[in-house]
Structure 1
């Protein structure tokens, strides 16, 4: 096995293995195509009259002392596919979410402490929040002005924030969170179930349940405390730091110490069968499965998580997080029939036809812990760095398990007309974010790179890439530059043909 022994010989051997190919999955989103949320353009913000004392303070701060004028943080991160997602003027380092949920009414309430560092002198800044009612905002413990426009929450601190200053914005809010519909018709945001709810964030669903800088380029640590009625469980990312019981409710405190993009944040509330284990030589496992989805096939798949992680560690290097596992909920038809990449423990929606967790889907989602979660796309057009890598991992696993060879999987992708509707590095619209070229042609980029480099050098590159940008962000340009530097080769023609060019090559 790769994870246990690594090495060129096993890699070459798994290339030669053949049998029937397992069914394709949708993944993160792992059955093609999947969901994207178009973020509406924000209307111009209304002018707000400042109290005289505050106005005088602001003027004195920008006057004779030589300080630059206080800026308004941009209401978007400038993403080509989601121009209003994310914000400018600050970098978030930590989210502290203290929330309570009532499944009977669907009401979510609580506070979000958003700790950030100002990257410019700020007179106001934005957070992304869809729906919900904001009761109050404070910055540094002092009341702050705020206004709403579309999915933008604009915050006006009592005085300008200096460049480089760390600050905490505390937002008290409540309401029934929204389910958002992506341009391709799939659902994200907050999805109610018959006994709780599930939060799905890719690409922009996080803003449906907490105020945030909702772009993958701004990663942060998290502490989430979710209070639910006794008898229910709240499962999230990271490690379970503790539980408290009071007044017929249980509060679950989850801590994510490694930086995480907002789209990877999740919480699942409901009745779950929870299994905790500590596999030898691997990360602790925490799996939560809705009893209605606890079929024998799913149980068999989940038991193989430690084995899959060992094998994938042989491909990508040591597992990057402190814990692992999975969440298997039970969503109604039409709510979101896709598995989803979430940090530490991927989400699976359950299924009317077992298994709820197909093995190849599990392999795909777990690979995202390295490519997607530890190394996160710098912008949404770089999403092939998640999905192309994860699809290629599926091909390797199929060969490892005695299924189709990698050559057979690549030939099938090459022959599929859907693979050639656009280049994987350039999804034309937000609705194409999880379309076939991102997955299958993205995997073909790696297939051709392996053919050009040879198995041994390709394997070294595959392990080095996640280490190069661990716990950070990377773009397509970062990847191509890394490959050129790592190999010392001019790979421009290869990347032009397989990554950027709209035309289909004559042959593999």
Structure 2
């Protein structure tokens, strides 16, 4: 996930001191509609969470969202958001009731298949009761109208996450749980969907989302931007960042549509780094396989209170002008984290360890320090150092998922694998992983199995030592 620009590449996450509380949600009942729907039967209520132990209420059970159509109108002066979300979904069980993730904001209307539905609020859950039960396998549409002043959530490590207001708009970065601050969703990485965004902002502001820009139109002092993300995307990777941006557009020789949006206050510092984006993507494509999306680019905001960058799909968002290491890291996430997504947050080393190791490889292959030198510098840290505080493969809580062990020790695990199986096999494993799980999901167990298959070796001891033990390992 997030690379923190004030940390070394080996461990890029520190808590941001800003702590904006989530607005308490007040239950809203539509008694007549709930009564019309009838009582829920056992086994027909969608679960209030996807079952992730680190974030129990993230995501929901009973359905899969195939597509989100989000229509947003944001006033940068009052910070008021009006939204309509249309979710096209499929029931995975019979449903008399199901949940959506939504924090704060006022819901004014909910419909299922064009018929007004009952709804109530329960913490971060929007509980929806359709007039008629949905059959298992049934495709259905949910429409939610909502409005209010979106506020970020405070993550377990103290950082702000979600819709974060800025002096000229909003910095929108949703990992791990911030998507619910600006649209109702099934907000767990296991549920990936395509997206359409229609975002209206005051004239002079730019609204940047994921995917390809379909068009923009200005009328009556407001500009509407239409974006489409066709490839499957987890909700936390969605963005709708708003600001006063300088825009650059071009198409790479591989046909990737690049859209860069840069705050003028960061433009001079960002320009030489963003100029290298095509070569970075080309280098990573040679290493990891073809770039997985139609679009690429960067959103470089001026958001000094945020303190991190995020790999929002196809177009990472940076709180300030990135350095080259950060650009390489967030670009590598397009393969590892965005295209190949997690099934559980405990496996986040598959995102962060891989992106950190991409930095080491880039340095090694571009005249900088070798990956071995980066490894050695970390291994030199004493056993009391935070690097060895908890296992990278299962950090133990949401508070730890962006800590140094996940990034640095995750990368060290990959380097140990590389030494054990040799370069030829190692790079084949990375490419096969990105190819076989493209647009889908992966687990640590699946990665270990792939590495063992490609190398013909039993690697249990290696992965146990570097991923699942707490203390500093003996010298390899």
Q: TM-score, normalised by structure 1?
A: 0.87
Flag the 1:482–1:38 CA change in 2: closer, same or farther, 3 A. farther
Question: For residue 278 of structure 2, what is the aligned residue in structure 1?
Answer: 306
1:54 pairs, out of 24, 29, 36, with: 36
Decide which moves more: 316-325 or 188-197. Answer: 188-197
Q: Does structure 1 conserve the Cα–Cα contact (< 8 Å) formed by 2:20 and 2:152?
A: no
SS in 1 for 2:73: strand
Question: For residue 123 of structure 2, what is the aligned residue in structure 1?
Answer: 150
Q: Does structure 1 conserve the Cα–Cα contact (< 8 Å) formed by 2:97 and 2:130?
A: yes
1:162-190 residue CA offsets vs partner (Å, 9 max, x unmatched)? 00001111000000001222222211111
Q: Does structure 1 conserve the Cα–Cα contact (< 8 Å) formed by 2:152 and 2:160?
A: yes
Query: Matched residues in 1 for 2:421 and 2:248: separation?
Result: 42
Q: Does structure 2 conserve the Cα–Cα contact (< 8 Å) formed by 1:419 and 1:437?
A: yes
Query: Matched residues in 2 for 1:134 and 1:381: separation?
Result: 32
Question: For residue 403 of structure 2, what is the aligned residue in structure 1?
Answer: 435
Asked if 1:101 corresponds to 2:74, the answer is yes
Question: For residue 449 of structure 2, what is the aligned residue in structure 1?
Answer: 481
2:335 pairs, out of 370, 389, 396, with: 370
1:31 pairs, out of 12, 23, 37, with: 12
Asked if 1:415 corresponds to 2:387, the answer is no
Higher relative contact order (CA 8 A, sep 6+): 1
Flag the 1:127–1:53 CA change in 2: closer, same or farther, 3 A. closer
Q: Would you say how many aligned residue pairs link Structure 1 and Structure 2?
A: 468
Asked if 1:492 corresponds to 2:460, the answer is yes
1:14-66 residue CA offsets vs partner (Å, 9 max, x unmatched)? xxxxxxxxx976599972235799999x99989986669835xx58xx9xxxx
Q: Does structure 1 conserve the Cα–Cα contact (< 8 Å) formed by 2:20 and 2:151?
A: no
In structure 1, runs of 5+ residues without a counterpart are 1-22, 63-67, 351-355
Question: For residue 10 of structure 1, what is the aligned residue in structure 2?
Answer: none
Q: Does structure 1 conserve the Cα–Cα contact (< 8 Å) formed by 2:30 and 2:119?
A: no
Q: Does structure 2 conserve the Cα–Cα contact (< 8 Å) formed by 1:212 and 1:262?
A: yes
**What is the Cα deviation at residue 400 of structure 1?**
1.8
Flag the 1:398–1:75 CA change in 2: closer, same or farther, 3 A. same
Q: Does structure 1 conserve the Cα–Cα contact (< 8 Å) formed by 2:204 and 2:244?
A: yes
Q: Does structure 2 conserve the Cα–Cα contact (< 8 Å) formed by 1:29 and 1:434?
A: no
Query: Matched residues in 2 for 1:47 and 1:325: separation?
Result: 43
Q: Does structure 1 conserve the Cα–Cα contact (< 8 Å) formed by 2:116 and 2:131?
A: yes
1:255-313 residue CA offsets vs partner (Å, 9 max, x unmatched)? 00000001100111111000011122351211000000112x42110000000001111
1:341 pairs, out of 291, 304, 311, with: 311
**What is the Cα deviation at residue 418 of structure 1?**
2.1
Q: Does structure 1 conserve the Cα–Cα contact (< 8 Å) formed by 2:353 and 2:408?
A: yes
SS in 2 for 1:447: helix
Flag the 1:26–1:172 CA change in 2: closer, same or farther, 3 A. farther
1:324 pairs, out of 296, 305, 308, with: 296
Report the RMSD for the aligned CA atoms in angstroms: 2.6
Question: For residue 226 of structure 1, what is the aligned residue in structure 2?
Answer: 199
1:336-375 residue CA offsets vs partner (Å, 9 max, x unmatched)? 111111101111111xxxxx21011100010000001000
Question: For residue 419 of structure 2, what is the aligned residue in structure 1?
Answer: 451
In structure 2, runs of 5+ residues without a counterpart are none
Question: For residue 13 of structure 1, what is the aligned residue in structure 2?
Answer: none
What pairs with 1:164-179 in structure 2 (closer than 5 Å)? 164-179=137-152
Query: Matched residues in 2 for 1:161 and 1:204: separation?
Result: 27
Flag the 1:455–1:39 CA change in 2: closer, same or farther, 3 A. farther
Question: For residue 136 of structure 1, what is the aligned residue in structure 2?
Answer: 109
1:388 pairs, out of 333, 344, 353, with: 353
SS in 2 for 1:71: coil
Q: TM-score, normalised by structure 2?
A: 0.93
Query: Matched residues in 1 for 2:296 and 2:171: separation?
Result: 18
Flag the 1:460–1:34 CA change in 2: closer, same or farther, 3 A. farther
Question: For residue 358 of structure 1, what is the aligned residue in structure 2?
Answer: 323
Flag the 1:45–1:340 CA change in 2: closer, same or farther, 3 A. same
Query: Matched residues in 2 for 1:168 and 1:224: separation?
Result: 17
Flag the 1:27–1:122 CA change in 2: closer, same or farther, 3 A. farther
Question: For residue 15 of structure 1, what is the aligned residue in structure 2?
Answer: none
2:166 pairs, out of 187, 193, 204, with: 193
Q: Please identify the structure whose Cα radius of gyration is greater.
A: 1
Asked if 1:203 corresponds to 2:176, the answer is yes
SS in 1 for 2:327: helix
SS in 1 for 2:312: coil
Q: Does structure 2 conserve the Cα–Cα contact (< 8 Å) formed by 1:39 and 1:84?
A: no
Query: Matched residues in 2 for 1:28 and 1:377: separation?
Result: 22
SS in 2 for 1:463: helix
